[in-house]
Amino acid sequence: MHTPKRIAQSYFKRPQYGHAVSKPSASSFKRGVNPNSRAGKSKSTPLHNAVVMQYAHEVNKAAALSLLQYGADPNIPDAQRMTALHWAVELGGDLEVVEKLLEAGANAAALDNEAVTPMIRAAYSSFYEKDEWRELQVQILVLLLRVGEGSIDWEDDRGRSVRKWARQKGLPDNLREWVAHVTSSEGLPA
């Protein structure tokens, strides 16, 4: 079955497309290893690969946090113009990693080659289609809204927006109202 998660897993596991990622050591950076190096056709960085959920069903959080600590730039785009934040919210599923990317200066309004923002990636990801993941999805969306760099009304090249996603998913009224309250009460785009 070709789900976005499986496609991403195979995409990042092939050596010609990217880095094999393990937690980098401080000594590797002292020896001159560049945490922003890009590899293969995908032009992915080690940070891109670390934030995507792998076969062990977890993000390589230790590697992602270590890379950020040693200066990995969260805004370097890959060949699709997706940043580590795009990948983390679409196929990562780890709120702490998303928070750390934002703290490191990740642009929450970055556009990929289809004018998709990280917020739209999070909303339309099939990764969160199971009910038990829905709460995490909303937490990630609210976190992105709190940064204030994105709009739930921004439409990508296919006409998708976070507001349209909420309507399509038929979110419970109280949840929709809660998200609207968070965005309007903090002066964020509604």
12-26, 89-103, 126-140, 168-182: which has the minimum mean pLDDT?
12-26
Nearest CA to 101 among 72, 137, 129?
72
Which pTM does this prediction carry? 0.72
Q: Maximum distance among all alpha carbons in the chain?
A: 55
pLDDT digits (tens, 9 = 90+) for 106-124: 999 999 999 999 999 988 8
Distance CA 73, CA 75 (A): 5
* Residue 39 DSSP SS3: strand
118 versus 52: the higher-pLDDT residue is 118
CATH of domain 46-185: 1.25.40.20
How confident is the model at residue 83, as a pLDDT?
94
Domain ranges of the chain: 46-185
pLDDT digits (tens, 9 = 90+) for 166-178: 778 776 545 556 5
How confident is the model at residue 100, as a pLDDT?
95
124 versus 150: the higher-pLDDT residue is 124
How confident is the model at residue 132, as a pLDDT?
67
Distance CA 86, CA 93 (A): 11
In angstroms, the Cα distances linking 81 to 67, 176, 178 are 20, 30, 32
pLDDT digits (tens, 9 = 90+) for 56-97: 456 788 888 988 998 999 999 998 999 999 989 887 778 999
Torsion of CA 121, 127, 131, 133, to 10 degrees: -80
